[in-house]
Amino acid sequence: MGLRNFFDRIEPNFLKGGKWERYFPMYEMVESFIYTPKTVTTAAPHARSYVDMKRIMTYVVLATIPAILIGLWNTGYQVNTAMETLGASGWRASLLEGLGIGLNAANPFANFMHGLLYFLPIYITTLVVGGIWEVLFATVRRHEVNEGFLVTSMLFALIMPPDAPLWQVALGISFGVVIGKEVFGGTGKNFLNPALTGRAFLYFAYPANMSGETIWTPVDGFSGATNLAVAASDGYQEIIVRGGSWMDSFLGFVQGSIGETSTLAIFIGLAFLLITKIANWRLVVGCLAGMIAFSSLLNFIGSDTNPMFNVPWYWHLVMGGYAFGLVFMVTEPVSASHTNMGRFIYGALIGFMVVMIRVINPAFPEGMMLAILFGNVFAPLIDHFVVQANIRRRARRNV
C-alpha cells in the first residue's frame, strides 16, 4: 500500500503539464512493471479481457524457463567436460573454484553455475542496451515503454553463442530494436522479429563469432562440430558413430546456443503457451507440416553427393534452432500472419524454407533464422490473398 501511494503521489509530476512530463515513459515503465496497467478503452466498442500485454509477455518469458534451466546446465556441462579433458581454465573457472564449486562435469550445480556465468553477461548487456533504446524512443515519441522488450531481450540472449563478445551483443540488440522494430513505429508495428533481426545482422557482419566449430564450447583449444555441421558434411548417421544420439539432441546434451539445445524443454514451454492460448496452434501445425512434408520428399528423392537429402524430419526437429524458432519465433503474433488460413500457410512456408536452406544451400546448414525472417516478409501478402479469397467466396455465395 505504501508503494502504491508513493506512485500515486508522484504521478502528477509526470503527466501533461507536470515538471517531469518528458520522463513519463520511464515512470510508466516502472509503475506498470510492478502493477497492472491502468489504461482502459474510452470509446465503444469495449472488449473486456484479463489478458493484457503485460500478462502475455510475462507468460512468454515464463515459457522460456525450462529452456533456460537446461541451457545453463548444458553450457556448463560442455565447458566443464572440455576443460577437464584439455586441462584448460579461465576467469569463470577460477571464480567457481574460489567459491569452492569447482569444475566437476558430474556435478549438476557446478555445471549450472558455470553456464550462468556465461549467460548473465549476455542477458544483462542485452537488457541494458536494448532498454536504453526502448526508453529513448518512448521518450522522444512520448508514449509508454512496451513490455514486449522483455521478451525480445530474453529470446535474443538465448539464441546467442555462450561466449559472444559483449560489444557484439550490444550491437546486435541495438540493430534488432532500432532497425527491426522502432523505425517501423515500435512494438505492434514491426513486420520482422526484432531478436532474429539482430541475430541475422551479427551473423552476416561477424560470421567468425556466430558460426563455426570453436564458438559453441568456449574453451581455448577445443573444437567441435554441431550435429547440423556433422550431418551436412558426413550425414546424420555420423552423429551416432561419433557417440551422439537422437535422444541426446532431444534432451539437450549437445553443443549449441544457450537456449536452443533442449527440444524437450522447449516443448514444455510450447505446451504452456498453447494451454494459455498465447501461441496459436495453427502456426505450429503449419510449420511442422511444411518441414515434415518437404524433408520426407527430399528423403524419397535422395542424393549421392548431398548427405542432407537423407536427414529425416525427426532429426531436423532436434537439430539447430528449429524447435526454439518454432515455439518462440514462428508463434510471435505481430510478425506472423493474422488470418486463420494464413497462419497455416505462413507456418508451412517457414517449415518448407528451413529444409530448403539446410539441404539445398551447403553454405548455411542452420536455416531456421532466415526461414522465419523470410516468412515475416511474406506474412502481409499471405493475409492479403486469404482475405481476397474470402471476399470472392462470399461474393459468389450471395450471387
pLDDT at residue 285, rounded to an integer: 97
Kindly state the average pLDDT of the residues 253-282.
Answer: 95
Residue 92: inside a domain: yes
Angle among Cα 291, 308, 202 to the nearest 5 degrees reads: 75
pLDDT at position 106, please? 87
pLDDT of 75 strictly over 80: yes
Query: Rounded to whole angstroms, how far apart are CA atoms 206 and 209?
Result: 6
Q: Over the stretch 295-327, which tens digit does the pLDDT of each residue have? A: 999 999 999 899 999 999 999 999 999 999 999
> In this structure, is residue 296 part of a structural domain?
no
Q: 154-167: per-residue pLDDT in tens?
A: 999 999 999 899 99
Whether residue 162 lies inside any domain: the answer is yes
Would you state the pLDDT for residue 116? 95
Residues 140 and 208 in one domain: yes
Q: Kindly indicate the confidence band of residue 51, based on its pLDDT and cuts at 50, 70 and 90.
A: low
Q: Are 368 and 303 in contact (CB under 8 A)?
A: no
Same domain, yes or no: 195 and 166: yes
Q: Who wins on pLDDT, 151 or 89?
A: 151
The answer to whether residues 85 and 11 belong to one domain is no
Would you call 121 helix, strand, or coil by DSSP? helix
- pLDDT score of 29 more than 70: no
The answer to whether residues 2 and 113 belong to one domain is no
The verdict on residue 71 lying in a domain is yes
Rounded CA separation 229/154 (Å)? 26
On whether residue 137 sits in a domain, the answer given is: yes
Asked whether residue 41 carries a pLDDT value surpassing 70, the answer given is no
Does residue 111 share a domain with residue 73?
Answer: yes
Residue 155 corresponds to which amino acid?
L
Query: 193 is in which domain, residue-wise?
Result: 53-224
Q: Is residue 71 pLDDT above 70, yes or no?
A: yes
Q: Which of 111, 106, 108, 107 is nearest to 93 (CA)?
A: 111
Residue 13 lies in a domain: yes
The mean of the pLDDT values for the chain is 87
Q: Is residue 160 part of a domain?
A: yes
Of 189, 224, 259, which residue is a domain's last? 224
Q: Is the pLDDT of residue 351 over 80?
A: yes
The number of folded domains in the chain is 2
Give the integer Cα–Cα distance in Å for 130 and 202.
15
Query: In this structure, are 211 and 169 located in the same domain?
Result: yes
Final residue before a domain boundary, out of 159, 194, 224: 224
Query: What pLDDT digit, counting tens, does each position of 186-245 carry?
Result: 777 788 999 999 999 999 999 888 888 888 888 887 888 888 989 988 899 999 998 889
- Pair (10, 116) in one structural domain: no
What pLDDT score was predicted for residue 301?
Answer: 94
HSE-up of residue 375 (Cα within 13 Å, Cβ side): 37
Q: Are residues 75 and 26 in the same domain?
A: no
Shared-domain flag, residues 15 and 105:
no
How much is the pLDDT for 380? 94
Convert the pLDDT of each residue in 12-28 to its tens digit: 766 666 766 666 665 56
C-beta of residue 319 within 8 angstroms of C-beta of residue 250: no
Give domain status of residue 132, yes or no.
yes
- What per-residue confidence (pLDDT) applies to 364? 76
* pLDDT at 49 > cutoff 60: no
pLDDT category of residue 376 using cuts at 50, 70 and 90? very high
Q: Are residues 154 and 207 in the same domain?
A: yes
270-283: average pLDDT: 95
Q: C-alpha dihedral over 119, 122, 128, 131, to 10 degrees?
A: -90
- State percent of the chain over pLDDT 90: 56
Name the residue with higher pLDDT: 348 or 96: 348
Asked whether residue 148 falls in the same domain as residue 59, the answer is yes
How much is the pLDDT for 27? Answer: 59
| Confidence at residue 21, expressed as pLDDT on a 0 to 100 scale | 63
Confidence of residue 44 (pLDDT cuts 50, 70, 90): low
Q: Which residues contact 13 (CB under 8 A, 6 or more apart)?
A: 19, 20
185 with 82, same domain? yes
Other CB atoms within 10 Å distance of the CB of residue 20: 13
The confidence score (pLDDT) of residue 105 equals 86
Neighbour count for residue 109 (Cβ, 10 Å): 12
Instruction: Out of 192, 224, 256, pick the residue that ends a domain.
Output: 224
**For range 368-396, the mean pLDDT:** 93
